[in-house]
Amino acid sequence: MTQHPLDLATHLTPKGNGRLEGHTSPGYWNMMGPFGGTTAATLLRAALEAPQRLGDPVALTVNFCAPIAEGMFEIELIEARTNRSTQHWMIVMRQGDDMVATASAVFAVRRESWAHQPAALPKLPPAETLTPMDTVGRNAWLSRYEFRFAEGAIRFEPREDDKPDSAYSSLYVRDLPERELDFTALAALSDTFLVRIFQVLGKFLPAGTVSLTTYFHTDAAGLAAQGTKPLIGTADSKVFRQGYFDQTAELWGADGQLLATSVQTVYYKA
């Protein structure tokens, strides 16, 4: 069976002593480096595949320290602490002697418990009534996903009176080719929400995520149960100020379960 491009892009070869080696993937190339979602997924996968791994990921924070060049990278996986039912990891990605990304991950053995979901599933028209975004000729990683926007598709047109557009988007999103949902895929999906400022101002400008935090709200079985169905996603921003803005996102299963939430802080020049 041919490997899915995401599995190829996040593939790691253990080198012993918590060191692993990987390679950037042209299929997920972004403007100036790999799509941040694959970087996040690769860092998480280092911990997911550790022999001493305990439980499932609950929280992942990735700090993008420097542009990642095309080619090899090394990951150092540090087991900070393992308790009875939680495990803490520090993870560093290097190219040569330079740290290009740092991350932390919290894993936990999750057990059924009292459950309650105050958040409301966003209401979208059926996926098949929405046209997939045309990704031809754009950065490669965009063609690794199907985006069907219900609200807040990027509109590259000048705004009337320079009035900024809403930062809110809702859409269906899934891997292309279709892929069973797991933590690697969900970590990458949490970064598929296009940089809000492009949408708000209707133009490209220098911008890049500096930190991304994703929380996972179910276990491996809960993700596997989603199969390859598109997820429902929403994204929004609260404030753009002094060169940085925040971006929040939700990823929902077709069954109405909130599977992941994420926040990121993004540099911009405007």
Residues of this chain that interact with a second copy (CB under 8 A) are 58-59, 61, 63, 65-66, 80-81, 83, 86, 88, 90, 92, 98-100, 102, 104, 106, 108, 110-119, 164, 166-167, 200-201, 210-211, 213, 215, 217-219, 222, 236-244, 246, 250, 257-258, 261, 263, 265, 267-270
Which lies closer to a second copy via its Cβ, residue 137 or residue 269? 269
Residues with Cβ < 8 Å from 240, sequence gap 6 or more? 197, 200, 268, 270
Which lies closer to a second copy via its Cβ, residue 146 or residue 250? 250
Which lies closer to a second copy via its Cβ, residue 2 or residue 111? 111
Which lies closer to a second copy via its Cβ, residue 48 or residue 103? 103
Residues with Cβ < 8 Å from 74, sequence gap 6 or more? 15, 19, 20, 21, 22, 93, 94, 95
Closest contact distance (angstroms) between CB of 224 and a second copy is 14
Closest contact distance (angstroms) between CB of 43 and a second copy is 12
Closest contact distance (angstroms) between CB of 49 and a second copy is 20
Element (H, E) at 183: helix 183-189
End-to-end, the C-alpha distance of the chain in Å comes to 47
Closest contact distance (angstroms) between CB of 17 and a second copy is 18
The count of other CB atoms within 10 Å of the CB of residue 20 is: 22
Q: Name the residue among 232, 247, 218, 258 with its Cα closest to residue 126.
A: 232
Closest contact distance (angstroms) between CB of 197 and a second copy is 9
Cα distance between residue 165 and residue 149, in whole Å: 15
Cα distance between residue 149 and residue 151, in whole Å: 6
Residue pair 148/172 in contact (Cβ under 8 Å)? The answer is yes
Which lies closer to a second copy via its Cβ, residue 7 or residue 236? 236
Closest contact distance (angstroms) between CB of 176 and a second copy is 28
Residue type at 176 in one-letter notation: L
